[in-house]
Amino acid sequence: MNYQKLEFTNRYGHDLSARLDLPDDGSFRGLALFAHCFTCGKNLKSMGYISRGLTERGIGVFRFDFTGLGESEGDFGDTNFSSNVTDLIDAAAFLANNYQSPTLLIGHSLGGAAVLQAAEHLPDIKTIITIGAPCNPEHVAHLFESAEEEILEKGEAKVLLAGRPFCIKKQFLDDLEDQRMTEKIQGLKRPLLVLHSSIDNTVGIDNAAHIFTSARHPKSFISLDDADHLLTKKSDALYVGQLISAWSSIYLSE
């Protein structure tokens, strides 16, 4: 696998850090746009293994840091779920203008919810894949329960997430409540693959059931057995990349 370190500018003028992973010979039969999990970044090790599993089978992968995270510009406190969705749409536009339109849309955890929201704005996407995704972005609100009173009273609060402090503002919570996920899932009109572990203690398997039953055919569900939420075992992450490649191959050849 070889890669290019890139940047693109979103609609709000922030330069977002990205990377494009490609097969060794530089050619690819499909291009995946990958959305990472909440407060994670493009360099999360498991996401790199998933990318390797895809590039080894001829699929390029574009992943990036959302606004205010990792090496990207912007203030995380001013972002929300909706801004993650627009970052995804802007990333797809960058790829279309400089390489080719992405044909696979992949999202892990909250990134999975984001791709379900963004899909209607990306007509060139042929397949949609979620990995350990919540059926509603409000799922992450429980992470702020200890600070919710302060957020509502003062408008914002510092919250520790994965051992790091983040500023969470009331507008973030309000935005989570405004999403109409079931409606978006029902209107995907593209093949959907739902990947989820039955022992996921971060996002329960019932979320996968809701996404799957809400979606219309064609749709598929594959259990990730004993994988944890972040796919920390290298073998699990590589397996996910291989699964996505094999499942999507029929749609990429159309």
First to last CA, the chain: 25
* Angle between the N-to-C axes of helices 81-98 and 170-177, in degrees from 0 to 180, rounded to the nearest 10: 80
d(CA 231, CA 47): 8
Residue in this structure with the two tokens 């993650």, named with its chain if needed: 84
> What is the per-residue pLDDT across 13-64, written as a single tens digit (0 to 9) for each?
999 999 999 998 877 889 999 999 877 877 788 899 999 999 999 999 999 9
DSSP, collapsed to helix, strand or coil, labels residue 219 as strand
Beta bridge partners of 19: 5, 63
Q: Is the peptide bond before 191 cis (omega within 30 degrees of 0)?
A: no
> What is the per-residue pLDDT across 92-136, written as a single tens digit (0 to 9) for each?
999 999 999 999 999 999 899 999 999 999 999 999 999 999 998
Q: Where are the domains of the chain?
A: 2-137+181-252
Give the class (CATH, top level) of 2-137+181-252.
alpha beta
Residue in this structure with the two tokens 């055919």, named with its chain if needed: 217
